[in-house]
Chain A
Amino acid sequence: MAARGGLRHGGLMRRADMRASSARRAADLGKRVEYLAFVLANDTYAVQIAYIAEILKPPPLTGVPRAPREIIGVMSVRGRLVTVIDLRRRFRLAEQPTDRKTRILLVETGDEQIGLLVDEVLQVYRLADSEIEPAAVLGGEQPAHIAGIGRPEGALLILIDLKPILEPR
């Protein structure tokens, strides 16, 4: 084959930039995970912020007849259809009309985008491992979506595991 190789190609691969990224340095400072805190019926919940693609003010929603009750409708976000789940209904909490604080957390799952309707979005907490307690401290059987309790200074967060919520029942 080498005998045929008369022509050469010009492009040389450029060496990758090996300098350490700033992100890596930040990681060395201590393992902390960012959680987004939100309110549902007077309790504060939190979910890993890595799962949240976007926080939206609720656009007009289109209800889907004959859909499960917790699905309050669909909306279009930049051309994509998003199914919106009312977390109050999902968690069997008392219902309440939306107001100006109501937000939708946009979550990217493998197959589609899901919107989660919450009462209010609070802030981001950076929790160290030492600030997280297992759900068992609440005693008894806890629902699958409760991953643990976050105890940052001066607050109590119910940490949510999104997986059981997003799985269609």
Chain B
Amino acid sequence: MGETGGRDALGEKAREEFFSEAQELVDGLSRDLLALDEIVKKGGDSDPDIINDVFRAVHTLKGLSGLFGAAIMSGLSHELENLLDDLRLGRTELTPPVLDLLFQAVELYGRILASVKGDEPEPQDEVKALLVAIGQTTQSRQGGGVSLVAQYELDPGLLGVLTEYEEHRLRTNIQSGLSLYRIRVQFSLATIDSALDDLKAKARPHGEIITYLPTGGGGDIDSIELEILIASRADLGTLQGAINGPNVRIEEVSKRDPSTPRTSLPAPANYGDQEPLRIKDAPPVARVLPGAVAFTVGDDDEVEAVRTPPPPGGPPSAPPAASGGGNGGGGGRELSLRSVSQTVRVDIRKLDSLMTIVGELAILRSAILRVGERVRGRPDLRELGIELHRLHRTFDRHLTQMQNGILEVRMVPLGQIFDKLSRVVRQISREHDKQVNLVITGAETEIDKLIVEELSDPLMHMIRNAIDHAIEMREERLAVGKPAVGTIALNAFQKGNHVVLEVEDDGRGMDPEVLVRSAVRIGLVSPDEAKDLSPREILALVFMPGFTTKEEATQLSGRGVGMDIVKTNIGKLGGIVDISSEVGIGTKMTITLPITLAIISVLVVEISGRSFCLPLASVEEAIVLDEGLVRTFEGREVMTQRGATLPICRLAKFFGIDPVEHVHIDHTNPSRARSFVVISSVGNRRLGFVVDKLVGQQDIVIKALGKSLKMVRGFAGATELGDQRVGLVLDIAALIEEVLAGSEARFLMTAEGRN
């Protein structure tokens, strides 16, 4: 199984499939383990359905890893199977130490996957250590089980090809006192699919199909004989009545005379060579997806535990019959390679190209509208024009549906990353000996797949920070009258066209004095500058490169290379991070992100005769600029709007595209063409952009500027506005940042000057 030669033969696409499938399985595992953890914490019995799920996932991973030459992974899976088997059969109890082993295994799976990808070295030593630990747990019991099966007159050849899962089902059924029956059926090759389904449907009410395989005999060229092993409480007569047919023979598998020598099951290692063909036996995708939102929405008033396991008996926990009958339409062994899942994995770039086509159709649509209007303008063609207009409206409706459909496909629930984060919290809080409760709300909130991918690292960093720096040690908490267990709340919700993510802790909060002192010590601000900082600016210090409050970096949060990178990464997604904090009460970080990167509504404006687009999501309103209300304040122009001060930015000047004739005109000169202020906000920062003309609102497909323009700041991309014209889309978050960052830029300059 350990050969790596298969890798090239299978090709890049198959490898990618492997990674995404394995990743999904590992994510699912992690979810299941967290559910088990919750049950164990509450002192409940372990849920056999969940353990079965875990077993199947591990089993499938083993098969996958065999295919891709990840020997270390199949070795790990193999040992895990033994452990899980013991758990299922109640031979080993599900205790916190055992759970720890399982969590470690999930962690290692992730790292092995990364190593197969070439991102990091193989965690050989860790895996070895874990294998030893698992071995010790399973060693405490040995033997048993196998001999039960050996009491039956079963063909050793058949026993030899049972999967471990099937073997387990066989054993369990025998233990429960069910009888075994062997059914031999002749199928015509032409109709085997439906005929087998038919037979399975008939058999299911009476028992569990453990396995079925071709007998290799009895058939002519157009037919095949299958042997089906079924466990049932019913007697032979009942079964014969239920499953009758011209080519069906049923017999009971009798018990051996105890004196005959036992046939023992082959060692598990022998399965190795046939594993690859069976990778689809466990339905990985179908099983994982329904569990994706296995969270309860927490109660805001009550900050308490939170997580419920997936509903028992729900889709995630397939009935035991899944082994043989769960292929849902699969035929014999060979046919069972057919995928059971109804889902399709799609490369997001394909969706992008579909979106581009939709965008072009939208441009066509406007062209049709124009033609229609021209036709309607001619009295002799009026009726034709009306018809054209009607067609245009229908076209428009369908196009919108299509656009929404494609967008919907891109959306995934945030729960996907929240699962990973819960694992991180569990791990870090244990390492740190701090008790932390992660309270998640809004896991069902959906966001663009591309954003989700980029979000997990920043979020993880924020949570690590919260555990490391914010949550106090138990004694310290008790001393100030806080509950011993710290709470980190991860809230997600949709707000208009944005998704808001909050990471809130009930830790010690950020002390402004400490922040300022640290910043001065590191040299980010001079002591003089520090005096003038507003509370807001003080909190913003943590986003500066190199900032840290610790004299010594801890292993967990590194050495302060965190928050500035978090901020940069969120910024790349068009989002913004804000902090609020109260000493002794806690800290809240708020991330505001656009829902999707693909299609946006924009306000088209004109500046010096050029068209620009401002994402409507960040636009509050647009008003006529009253030059009389503009004041200059420390070299920066501001105006008063509804009693509040609003900084403004003249985009023509800012971009350096101010036409020469405007420069000399007195700003108070009433003859000057009127301008508009587009009031924009991101997070809680506001800025008014001064533009010459408001053109209108439009839905656009935003495209990234090429690599050659990467160094140009202030633009989120560009779009086609019709008539072949390209309009640049402003990156409002970046522009607000740039314009308002006066004070921050001052810090940076000081910092650089000192270096």
Interface residues of A (CB under 8 A from B): 1, 3-7, 59-68, 71, 73-76, 79-83, 85, 111-114, 166, 168
Q: Is the CB of B718 within 8 A of A62?
A: yes
Check A74 against B334 for contact (C-beta < 8 Å).
no
Q: A7-B335, A112-B706 are in contact. Are A1 and B720 (CB under 8 A)?
A: no
Q: Smallest CB–CB gap between B606 and chain A, Å?
A: 13
B724 touches A76 (CB 8 A): yes
Taking the nearest CB of chain A, how far is it from the CB of B324, in angstroms?
Answer: 15
- Nearest A residue to B273 by beta-carbon distance? A1
Known contacts A81-B703, A111-B707, A112-B706, A7 near B725 by CB under 8 Å: no
Question: Considering the chains assembled together, what is the distance between the CA atoms of A112 and B655 in angstroms?
Answer: 25
Task: Closest B residue to A9 by CB, please name it.
Answer: B334
Contact assessment for A74 and B726 in the assembled complex, using a CB-CB cutoff below 8 Å: yes
**Distance between A80 CB and nearest chain B CB, rounded to angstroms:** 8
Q: A83-B705, A113-B706 are in contact. Are A74 and B718 (CB under 8 A)?
A: yes
Q: Give the residues in chain B near A63, CB-CB below 8 Å.
A: 610, 657
Which of A4, A59, A82 has the largest number of chain B CB atoms within 10 A? A4
**How many angstroms from the CA of A153 to the CA of B65 in the assembled complex?**
63
* A75 interface neighbour in B357, B656, B726, B728, Cβ under 8 Å: B726
6 A-B pairs within 8 Å (CB atoms) are namely A63-B610, A75-B724, A76-B724, A82-B706, A112-B708, A166-B708
Query: Given A74-B718, A76-B724, A79-B356, do A65 and B709 touch, yes or no (CB 8 Å)?
Result: no
Given the known A-B contacts A4-B333, A64-B715, are A59 and B724 also in contact in the complex, defined by CB atoms under 8 Å? Answer: yes
Q: Are B359 and A79 in contact (CB-based, < 8 A)?
A: yes
B727 interface residue per 8 A CB criterion: yes
A60–B725 touching, CB < 8 Å:
yes
A68 to B708, CA, bound (A): 10
The answer to whether A76 and B274 have CB atoms under 8 Å apart is no
Task: Determine how close the nearest CB of chain B comes to the CB of A103; give it in whole angstroms.
Answer: 16
A-B pairs under 8 A by CB, number: 107
B332 to chain A, nearest CB (A): 7
Stretch at the interface among B212-220, B303-311, B640-648: B212-220
- Are the CB atoms of B189 and A7 closer together than 8 Å? yes
Residues on A with beta carbons closer than 8 Å to the beta carbon of B384: none
B224 on the interface (CB 8 Å rule)? yes
CB neighbours (8 Å) of A74 from chain B are 705-706, 709, 718, 726, 728
Given contacts A79-B359, A83-B706, A111-B706, whether A62 and B725 have CB atoms under 8 Å apart is yes
Known contacts A62-B725, A75-B726, A79-B356: does B708 contact A114 (CB below 8 Å)?
yes
Is B413 part of the binding interface, using a Cβ–Cβ cutoff of 8 Å? no
CB-based nearest B residue for A7? B334
Q: Is B350 an interface residue (CB 8 A)?
A: no
Judging by beta carbons under 8 Å apart, are A4 and B707 in contact?
A: no
Residues 699-736 of chain B: 1 if any A CB is under 8 Å from the residue's CB, otherwise 0? Answer: 00001111111111111011010011111100000000
Residues of B within 8 A of A (CB): 157, 161, 189, 192, 213-214, 216, 219, 224, 273-274, 277, 331-335, 356-357, 359-360, 610-611, 655-657, 703-715, 717-718, 720, 723-728
Q: Is B713 touching A62 in the complex (CB atoms < 8 A)?
A: no
Q: Which 6 A-B pairs have the closest CB atoms?
A: A65-B655, A112-B706, A62-B726, A6-B224, A6-B214, A83-B708
Take A6-B216, A66-B712 as given contacts and tell me if A76 and B655 are in contact as well, using a CB distance cutoff of 8 Å. no
Whether A5 pairs with B334 at a CB distance below 8 angstroms is: yes
Find chain A residues with CB under 8 A from B213 CB.
4
The answer to whether B224 and A66 have CB atoms under 8 Å apart is no
Contact of A66 among B611, B655, B706 (CB under 8 A): B655
Q: Is the CB of A65 within 8 A of B657?
A: yes
Q: How far is the CB of A162 from chain B (nearest CB, A)?
A: 13
Q: Which residue of B lies closest to A1 (CB)?
A: B274
Q: Which residue of A lies closest to B219 (CB)?
A: A6
CB-CB < 8 A to B333: which residues of A?
4
A112 to B726 alpha-carbon distance, docked (Å): 17
| Chain A residue with the shortest CB-CB distance to B187 | A6
Q: Please name all residues of chain B whose beta carbon is closer than 8 Å to the beta carbon of A66 when the two chains form the complex.
A: 655-656, 712-714
Bound Cα distance from A64 to B714, whole angstroms: 10
- Known contacts A82-B706, A83-B706; decide if A168 and B711 are in contact (CB<8 Å): yes
Chain B residue at minimum C-beta to C-beta distance from A2: B216
Q: Which residues of B contact A60 (CB under 8 A)?
A: 723-725
Query: With a CB–CB cut-off of 8 A, which chain A residues contact B357?
Result: 79
- In the complex, what's the smallest C-beta–C-beta distance from A112 to chain B, in angstroms? 4
17 extra A-B contacts, CB within 8 A, seeds A64-B715, A75-B726: A3-B216, A4-B214, A4-B332, A6-B332, A7-B192, A7-B224, A62-B718, A65-B712, A66-B714, A74-B726, A74-B728, A75-B724, A76-B724, A81-B706, A83-B706, A83-B708, A112-B708
Q: How far is the CA of A60 from the CA of B610 in the complex (A)?
A: 12
Task: Note all chain B residues with C-beta closer than 8 A to A168.
Answer: 707-708, 710-711
A112: chain B residues at CB < 8 Å are 706-708
B724: which A residues are within 8 A, CB to CB? 59-60, 75-76
Taking CB atoms, residues of chain A closer than 8 Å to B710 are 168
**Which residues of B have CB within 8 Å of A76?**
718, 720, 724, 726
Closest to A77 in B: B724
Interchain CB contact under 8 A, A62 and B610: yes
User: How far apart are the CA atoms of A110 and B720 in the complex, in Å?
Assistant: 23
Max chain B C-beta neighbours (<10 A), residue from A60, A76, A83, A112: A76
> In the complex, A111 Cα to B656 Cα: how many Å?
29
Q: State how many angstroms separate the Cβ of B719 from the closest Cβ of chain A.
A: 8
Given known contacts A6-B214, A6-B216, A67 and B725 CB-to-CB distance under 8 angstroms: no
Q: Judging by beta carbons under 8 Å apart, are A71 and B216 in contact? A: no
Closest-by-CB residue of A relative to B711 is A168
Q: Which residue of A lies closest to B712 (CB)?
A: A67
Assess the A64–B657 pair: CB atoms within 8 A: no
Distance (whole angstroms) from the CB of A117 to the closest CB of chain B: 14
Cα A20 to Cα B294 in complex, Å, equals: 61
Cβ of A83 and Cβ of B709 under 8 Å apart?
yes
Cα distance A67–B657 when bound, in Å?
12
Contact between chains at B334 and A6 (CB < 8 Å)? yes
Report B692 CB to chain A, min CB distance, Å: 14
A1 lies within 8 A of B277 (CB): yes
Cross-chain contact of B718 among A7, A81, A114 (Cβ < 8 A): A81
Shortest Cβ distance from residue A54 to the other chain B in the assembled complex, whole angstroms:
15
Q: Which residue of A lies closest to B655 (CB)?
A: A65
**Least Cβ–Cβ distance between A163 and chain B, in angstroms:** 13
Q: Are A64 and B216 in contact (CB under 8 A)?
A: no
Looking at the assembled complex, report how far the CB atom of B137 sits from the nearest CB atom of chain A, in whole angstroms: 34
Smallest CB gap from B356: residue in A: A79
